[in-house]
């Protein structure tokens, strides 16, 4: 059918229809868009109000139980009690049954290369970062997300200190986002409140080096038998590598792993400009002389005697955790000489007199100071009950009382040359009691003897007769 052309009025009618439809669509769309925009604006408003509330609630949950920064200094920190000889030599370090060793040190007493080794191993940006290292956190996060091995940790030195302060040992290595966030928050608090050197000193007194050694003071003494200030570069670089994994890098059990970690520390020191390559190689190749790891107890009977006195007077809790440095009166050289002489004498008379042990106490008479105390000839020999201190063990006075018996006799007019009969004698013990007939240790009697002979030979009959 041929297309009919629209007349003018019809064209106008159709145009009006299109305009009306368009206007209706615009009106409907405009209403919807206004509704959308209104809802969008309300959503932003809700988020704007709720966001801070959510963040505030999260912050409160993370920080409500965190102590103030001052707690790091104010909290009680145990120290080991040390028993010292009269000239300051260490006799024994008291280790709590459930604790460890710790001796507090000052940062100024530590050699510079120990500080450098520790910073190189744990936190090169320590003096620049605010307690956390954002770049290290992002790097570790990326390595975790991509499944790569984490070659550098995100925990700064200050975060490690925070971990030790905030959490008990069994929770310190728990993999928890909440724990990590708390560490970071508290690390920032510490960095804001304390100078960097103060934080570093707290770290050196707090960090765990393995083998029950808390802090560099205990670690230096346990592994190398010396004070931290006397450590060599080789020793310091080895110790600086231990806190990351004290059991894994324990040089007493896993020396190859500890040496590999030491080389990492020395290499980092070279990278940071603390050492030349030649100095690092020399330190790595230097021989390490570890201390004797057996329980150290010199003049052991005397030490036990002192520990018993302290415990009875102040209590075991104070003895374990107060960190006393107890300087005693004992002379180590004299003690060892007395022990050697006692052992020699027992060896001479063991067969003839059936003697197996001896004790010696040396006093300074004017002051009553104990200069030497030997409770047995060998503290470590169980066959003679070596750890029993015969010098102070409760026992019958026996022949020791004879000295006082004869002293009283001399006051009554007897003389050392006075004679008394050492013969079989029955002594009346009073009504209802049978007679007493003392015998000498060898079963023999000696007839008339002088009192000096009776005392020197420890004869029993003359001693009873002069009472």
Residue whose pair of structure tokens reads 């002979």 in the numeric block? 453
Decide: 283 and 111 in contact? Cβ < 8 Å.
no
* CA–CA dist 314, 249 (Å, integer): 38
SS3 401: helix
For residues 374 and 220, give the distance between their C-alpha atoms in angstroms, rounded to a whole number: 30
Instruction: With beta carbons less than 8 A apart as the criterion, state whether 304 and 328 touch.
Output: no
Strand partners, 117: none
Cβ neighbours of residue 219 closer than 8 Å, sequence gap 6 or more: 209, 210, 213, 239, 242
Question: What strand order describes the sheet that includes 81-84?
Answer: 90-94, 81-84, 325-327
Contact 215, 242 (CB under 8 A): no
Residue 81 pairs with which residues in a beta bridge?
94
With vertex at residue 392, the alpha carbon angle to CA 388 and CA 398, rounded to the nearest 5 degrees, is: 105
Two tokens at 256?
Answer: 């190859």
Q: Answer yes or no: 206 catalytic.
A: no
Tokens 């608090």 appear where?
189
399 catalytic per annotation: yes
Give CA–CA dist 95/211, Å, rounded: 12
Structure tokens at 337: 């000489």
Taking 3-state DSSP, the helix, strand and coil percentages for the chain, each rounded to the nearest 5, stand at 55, 10, 40
Q: Choosing from 267, 279, 336, 399, which is the catalytic residue?
A: 399
Residues 6+ apart with CB under 8 A from 229: 109, 110, 111
Query: Which residue in 80, 85, 122, 155 is the catalytic one?
Result: 122
Start-end of H helices in 64-85? 71-74
Alpha carbon distance 127, 129 (integer Å): 6
CA distances for 239 relative to 115, 134, 250, 251, 259, angstroms: 11, 27, 10, 9, 10
Dihedral of alpha carbons 321, 325, 328, 332, sign: positive
Three-class DSSP labels, 398-446: HHHHHHHHHHHHHHCCCCCCCEEEECCCCECCCCCCCCECCCCCCCCCC
Catalytic residues, by residue number, are 122, 399
């Amino acid at each position: 059918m041929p297309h009919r052309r629209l007349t003018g009025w019809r064209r106008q009618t159709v145009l009006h229809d299109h305009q009306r439809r368009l206007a209706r669509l615009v009106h409907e769309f405009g209403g919807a868009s206004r509704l959308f925009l209104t809802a969008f604006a309300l959503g932003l408003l809700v988020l704007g109000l709720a966001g801070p509330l959510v963040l505030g609630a999260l912050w409160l949950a993370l920080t409500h139980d965190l102590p103030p920064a001052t707690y790091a200094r104010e909290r009680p920190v145990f120290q080991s009690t040390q028993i010292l000889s009269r000239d300051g030599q260490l006799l024994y370090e008291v280790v709590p049954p459930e604790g460890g060793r710790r001796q507090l040190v000052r940062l100024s007493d530590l050699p510079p290369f120990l500080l450098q080794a520790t910073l190189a191993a744990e936190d090169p940006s320590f003096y620049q970062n605010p307690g956390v290292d954002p770049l290290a956190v992002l790097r570790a996060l990326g390595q975790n997300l991509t499944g790569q091995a984490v070659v550098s940790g995100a925990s700064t030195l200050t975060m490690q200190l925070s971990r030790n302060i905030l959490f008990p040992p069994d929770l310190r290595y728990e993999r928890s986002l909440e724990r990590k966030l708390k560490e970071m928050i508290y690390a920032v608090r510490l960095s804001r409140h304390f100078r960097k050197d103060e934080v570093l000193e707290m770290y050196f007194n707090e960090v765990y080096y393995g083998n029950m050694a808390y802090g560099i003071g205990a670690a230096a003494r346990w592994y190398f038998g010396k004070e931290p200030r006397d450590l060599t570069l080789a020793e310091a670089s080895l110790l600086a590598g231990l806190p990351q994994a004290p059991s894994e890098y324990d040089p007493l059990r896993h020396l190859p792993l500890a040496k590999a970690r030491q080389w990492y520390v020395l290499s980092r020191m070279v990278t940071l400009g603390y050492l030349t390559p030649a100095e690092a190689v020399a330190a790595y190749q230097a021989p390490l002389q570890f201390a004797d790891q057996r329980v150290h107890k010199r003049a052991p009977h005397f030490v036990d005697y002192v520990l018993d006195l302290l415990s009875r007077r102040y209590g075991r809790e104070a003895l374990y955790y107060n960190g006393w440095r107890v300087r005693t009166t004992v002379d180590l050289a004299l003690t060892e000489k007395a022990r050697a002489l006692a052992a020699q004498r027992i060896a001479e008379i063991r067969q003839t007199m059936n003697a197996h042990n001896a004790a010696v106490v040396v006093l300074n008479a004017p002051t009553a100071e104990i200069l030497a105390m030997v409770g047995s000839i060998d503290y470590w020999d169980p066959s003679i009950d070596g750890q029993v201190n015969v010098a102070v063990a409760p026992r019958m006075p026996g022949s020791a009382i004879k000295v006082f018996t004869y002293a009283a006799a001399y006051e009554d007019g007897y003389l050392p040359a006075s004679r008394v009969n050492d013969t079989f004698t029955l002594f009346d013990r009073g009504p209802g009691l049978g007679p007493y007939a003392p015998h000498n240790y060898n079963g023999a009697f000696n007839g008339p003897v002088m009192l000096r002979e009776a005392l020197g030979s420890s004869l029993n009959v003359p001693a009873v007769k002069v009472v």
